[in-house]
Amino acid sequence: MTDKRRRILQAASVTLANKGFHGTTMGEIAQQADMAAGTLYLYFKDKQTLLLETLENNLELIADACFKQHRLGVSLEQQFTQIWQALFQYLIAHPDTLHGWELSRHVTDKSQLAHLIKRRQQLFLPLAAMLEAGLAAQQLKPLPVEVLGAIGIESCAALARRHIEGSFILNDAMIATAANASWQAIANQ
């Protein structure tokens, strides 16, 4: 990816997260990226295309953060906790990626939305494989992998959102306890 394209995607992520899809102009994104508005159109034909690529880029960044230090050879619970805590730390450090994902409702083309969902599944394949292994070993509640992921991991995003908003602030001990509670929610006890 070129430096300009990366700058545009970062600027779009921040601007769209702060102002919303309809409240953001291509000119504002260009200003945030410190370039001329016409330059954006050399890379993206319109705001919808830029939104789609921004969402996909954010998914890639989130997945990279989740699995960068993922260690195999440790217990399923340790792997889950590692991923959960890495996700939480990434989201609070990069709130635009969290808020930006909420903009996926503005992807109006069904095939583009299907593409994003498929891309998310590809990027989070290590998590799905881990959950599948947990199901096979009867360590997890007998639910579909997608449901286990929603219960176990999406709680992390919800807590990160509340932390970012200032509804409450989680310290390290609370983060560890919340990760453990998410694990307990899916573990077959």
Distance (Å, whole) CA 156 – CA 86:
10
pLDDT at position 8 is 96
Residues in the chain: 189
Between 53-57, 103-107, 111-115, 119-123, the lowest mean confidence (pLDDT) is in 103-107
Model pLDDT, residue 44:
94
Q: How far apart are CA 66 and CA 68, in angstroms?
A: 6
SS (H, E, C) 1-50: CCHHHHHHHHHHHHHHHHHCCCCCCHHHHHHHHCCCHHHHHHHCCCHHHH
The predicted pLDDT at position 87 comes to: 96
Give the ranges where 137-188 is alpha helix by DSSP (H).
145-152, 154-165, 172-186
Tens of pLDDT, residue by residue over 79-92, are 999 999 999 999 99
The pLDDT tens digits for 148-158 are 999 999 999 99
Q: Which amino acid is at 185?
A: A
| pLDDT given for residue 102 in this prediction | 76
- What is the C-alpha to C-alpha distance for residues 188 and 53, in angstroms, rounded to an integer? 38
User: How confident is the model at residue 173, as a pLDDT?
Assistant: 97
Please compute the mean of the pLDDT values over residues 103-117 and round it to a whole number.
87
SS3 state of residue 158: helix
Global pTM value: 0.90
pLDDT tens-digit readout, 155-176: 999 999 999 999 999 999 999 9
By the 8 A CB rule, do 161 and 98 touch? Answer: yes
